[in-house]
Amino acid sequence: MKKNIICIFISLFIALLYPSNANSASISFQYKSLSIPAGKSFFMPVQHQGNQITWHSSNTSIATVNNGIITAIKPGSLTITASDNLGNNAKCNVNVLKPEPIKFAYYTPNFCLKNSEVELIAITNTNIQDVKFFLDNRYFPASNKTFEGNTIVWSCKITLNKCGTFFVQPFAKINESWEKANSTFNILVSNNTDYNKHSIEKRRISDNAIKFIYTSEGFVPHVYVDKLCNLLTLGYGKAIYPGNLFYNNITKREAYAMLVNTLNESYFCSKLNDFLISNNIMFNQQEFDALLSFSYNIGTNWMCSDSYLKNIILNSTASTSNGKTLKGVVIEPDGLNLRASPSINSKKICILQYNESVTVLNSKKFNNSWYHVKTTNGYEGYCHCNFLSVSEVLNGVKSLQNIDKNNFASEFLSYHHSLKKCILGLFYRRLDELAMFFYGNYNHHYIKGYNPHKFPIPNCIKKLWQL
């Protein structure tokens, strides 16, 4: 059955405002009160029975509201009111806080190799005096400062000489005082220099794939309704849902930072890594990139449901061996320390992220509470059992190198519909992603009738090509 992929992705939110139970004759907010930093916007969820909603801010100098989007201007308090055409209304008390010290922070290149140079970047308002980054128990001051629009871009270059995941905490100096920023990020450092090598290890999306995504999505500086899916969108295809807090009216640099953070720090990378690694599937960089671009565009539901595409991947040729392996998954939202010995006082090797998978090397618990584990990056250490979910998995390694090419391509190309309509733009993107997956081609080159790799073309596309 063909999937209406975009509809699946946004099934809970099909408009700016979504109706509640039909038996209700009132209007209500999910939030009775909330706090918003000045300069940010918030998409207010509202349940209502009426057809028309009128929004009102009690003090537009502090915050404005338009179609449910509350935009905080300066610190202060106010009330947001929504009224429907049936005479009902709902109120929310809003407290506007001082602006965040750093708006966005990220690093480049996104695929980071051991002993290679990495640039740390922070984007701030123009009132910030200085920026520094804390990682690996050291402070790195920003050495470069560039004005871009109403922002300042701060950066410094460092070299990381060991593999692993490094947590980065940016700080900003304002009014001669240093403030910790909420815009933290993690750097994944690998020693795998062979992009074509198939292995089972955590990966990040490559810079070539990031470029492919942002050129595919196109840039829009302000939030708008994507008519293909009736979904609020911003920057380079960033979906905005009710309850989301975000920066509106952004620069291209800010949109790029938001895209990178969405891919890295949100669930896209972790979801795809967990799906492939937990199922013992070997994959290379171009395959990972193509599947991540695909997931960013249509969502990750294909990995969760009993989809035909998922089953094709799971049924790729396996070299089976006897026995079982113990796998652990981190269940602590704040992450889990990997320690050198089974003690809370021992040296911390690194921090394992929420939902990260590890191999449990021994079913025995050391000191009654600690598992001996090995990460996908090759680190061995000990994790406390209270924060690790352990289960048995059958041995046997699969490889995307041996996937059924025709079946995979045919099913992959079926994901080109939106709101029950055949969309040529989505189809061409699927063709480009297949070229990335099988041939490492990151360019946009598919046009009407052009199919040099002879991928199977759906009948609905053939009909459109004949028009």
Whether residues 299 and 415 share a domain: the answer is yes
Picking from 271, 289, 318, 313, the residue whose alpha carbon sits closest to that of residue 196 is 289
68 pLDDT more than 80: yes
Whether residues 268 and 126 share a domain: the answer is no
Show the tokens assigned to 95: 């407290």
% the chain with pLDDT above 70: 92
- Quick one: pLDDT band at residue 50, thresholds 50, 70, 90? low
Whether residues 187 and 259 share a domain: the answer is no
Of 61, 79, 97, the position where a domain reaches its end is: 97
63-67, 332-336, 372-376, 394-398: least confident range: 394-398
Residue 204 lies in a domain: no
Report pLDDT digits (tens) over 30-39: 999 999 999 9
Of 395, 415, 441, the position where a domain reaches its end is: 395
Domain of residue 243, CATH code: 1.10.530.40
Residue 205 lies in a domain: no
217 pLDDT more than 70: yes
Q: Which residue has the higher pLDDT, 98 or 396?
A: 98
Residue 442 lies in a domain: yes
Q: How far apart are CA 187 and CA 64, in angstroms?
A: 37
Whether residues 407 and 312 share a domain: the answer is yes
Residue 196 lies in a domain: no
Domain residue limits at 341: 324-395
Q: Give pLDDT, residue 13.
A: 38
Residue 431 lies in a domain: yes
How many domains is the chain built from?
A: 4
Q: How far apart are CA 231 and CA 220, in angstroms?
A: 14
Kindly report the pTM of this predicted structure. 0.79
- Quick one: pLDDT band at residue 287, thresholds 50, 70, 90? very high
Whether residues 233 and 338 share a domain: the answer is no
Of 41, 62, 97, the position where a domain reaches its end is: 97
Report pLDDT digits (tens) over 107-125: 999 999 999 999 999 999 9
Domain of residue 156, CATH code: 2.60.40.10
Contact present, 205 and 288 (Cβ < 8 Å): yes
Q: Which residue has the higher pLDDT, 394 or 299?
A: 299
Which residues sit opposite 151 in a β-bridge?
Answer: 125, 148
Q: How far apart are CA 434 and CA 408, in angstroms?
A: 9
Q: Which residue has the higher pLDDT, 277 or 14?
A: 277
Whether residues 408 and 384 share a domain: the answer is no
Residue 10 lies in a domain: yes
Name all contacts of 423-429 with Cβ < 8 Å and 24+ positions apart. Answer: 423/228, 424/448, 424/461, 424/464, 426/297, 427/458, 427/461, 429/216, 429/297
Report pLDDT digits (tens) over 355-414: 788 889 988 899 999 999 998 778 899 999 999 988 766 567 889 999 999 999 999 999
Q: Give pLDDT, residue 324.
A: 66
42-51, 131-140, 194-203: least confident range: 42-51
Whether residues 224 and 310 share a domain: the answer is yes
Q: Give pLDDT, residue 125.
A: 96
Residue 198 lies in a domain: no
55-69, 195-209, 334-348, 442-456: least confident range: 442-456
16 pLDDT more than 50: no
Whether residues 440 and 310 share a domain: the answer is yes
Residue 24 lies in a domain: yes
pLDDT (average), residues 318-330: 67
Whether residues 134 and 184 share a domain: the answer is yes
pLDDT (average), residues 150-165: 95
Whether residues 415 and 296 share a domain: the answer is yes
Whether residues 379 and 311 share a domain: the answer is no
Domain of residue 87, CATH code: 2.60.40.1080
Domain of residue 328, CATH code: 2.30.30.40
190 pLDDT more than 50: yes
Q: Which residue has the higher pLDDT, 25 or 376?
A: 376
Tokens 């911003």 found at: 234
- Quick one: pLDDT band at residue 426, thresholds 50, 70, 90? very high
Q: How far, CA to CA in Å, does 356 sit from each of 44, 128, 219, 256, 334?
A: 32, 35, 32, 25, 12
Whether residues 266 and 329 share a domain: the answer is no
